[in-house]
Chain A
Amino acid sequence: MKIRWPWQRKKENEDLDSVESLLESLFTPVPVRPAFMEDLRQRLVGKPGPLAAAGRSTLQLILMIGGGLVGLIVFIFAGFRAIITLITGIRLMGSKVKETRTERKRSERNDS
């Protein structure tokens, strides 16, 4: 039987630790294609997984919030435009009334 001295054993253990480190860096978990996972789940169970369901509801939520925001912005913009148009219209009407009055006064003076 081959005799192994303590320092030889120590070296051997160090080597094995190094091999373990190499293996740890070699074997990293690989991600599974979500499409494959979902497709297989559908084939097995016939229902979408919780992730897919969550994904779908999140998408719906995003679309709803986005649509709501766009609608709100359009509504506010249209409201502002209406108010501005109304104010401008009132001003124009006011100035036209004034002009008409001044013209009337002028024509009355000229007639007299």
Chain B
Amino acid sequence: MADKQIELSDEDALVLASKGDKDSFGMLYDKYAGRIYNYIYYRTGNQFDAEDLTARVFFRAMKHITRYVDRGIPFSAWLYRIAHNLVANWHRDGARRQEVALEDGVQIDKGEAHPEVAIVRGEEDLALMALIRNLPEERQQLLILKFVEHLSNADIGEIMDRTEGAIKSLYHRTLIALRDDILNGRAKGFSREALTRLQTLDNETKGK
């Protein structure tokens, strides 16, 4: 059974899954569950909601997969769109959103040798995450798809229903907005060291 699953392409698995083959849907689940979870985790900021929404994404996908017609978009893009809609609904529920602790959403421990370095790094991450959370929804989505999922502009365009050029442009504007926010000190808690590091990071990289 496992061999059969490995041999199947996404398209074949989709065709079989749409006919009710649960093994094929299981194969698609194994392939995409982690990615969808990561996307939702960074959009919601905590593990519990990420798990809940990931489950909802796949239940919804399974429910509608029989009606899934090849609309010219990859299956992954379809899943991301479901995830995006569910996260958008989740964000609309303002009360629940306020309960989310930002600290829960960022992994502070990134393997720094010294605890102080880890703490400073963690504070920087929290401040940067706060800035990102203040960005418009589409920009947050773009950053997560680019940096967590490592998708190309073309793939992101398929998910967000935009052209590759539009994504490139949006990305550039997002970077500029973030840079301005950081340099204008809008990132509360962003340490002076981090600001300096932002200025010298390139030089350090070149020095190495």
Contacts and interface: CB of A to CB of B under 8 A. Distances in A.
A27 interface: yes
Given A19-B182, A21-B205, A26-B147, A41 B29 contact: yes
Find the residue from B22, B26, B106, B205 having the highest chain A CB count within 10 A.
B26
A49 B26 contact: yes
Tell me whether chain A's interface is mostly helix, strand or loop, or mixed.
Answer: helix
Contacts of A26: 106, 125, 128-129, 132, 147
Interface string B135-148: 00000000110011
A15 interface: yes
A43 B59 CA distance: 9
Interface residues of B, number: 46
A56 to B, nearest CB: 13
A3 B182 CA distance: 23
B58 A27 contact: no
A99 B46 CA distance: 88
A20 interface: yes
Contacts of A49: 26, 30
A45 interface: yes
A107 to B, nearest CB: 84
Contact of B42 (A19, A27, A33, A36): A27
B22 A30 contact: no
Interface string B1-37: 0100100000000000000001101100110011001
B33 A40 contact: yes
Contact of B5 (A20, A24, A50): A50
B29 A24 contact: no
Interface residues of A, number: 32
Contact of A16 (B41, B176, B194): B176
Contacts of A50: 2, 5, 30
Interface in A3-35: 14-30, 32-33
A45 B125 contact: no
Given A40-B33, A44-B26, A17 B202 contact: yes
Contact of B55 (A24, A43, A45): A43
Ordered nearest first, which 5 A-B pairs have the shortest CB separation?
A27-B147, A45-B26, A18-B201, A45-B22, A16-B175
Interface of A: 14-30, 32-33, 36-37, 40-41, 43-47, 49-51, 53
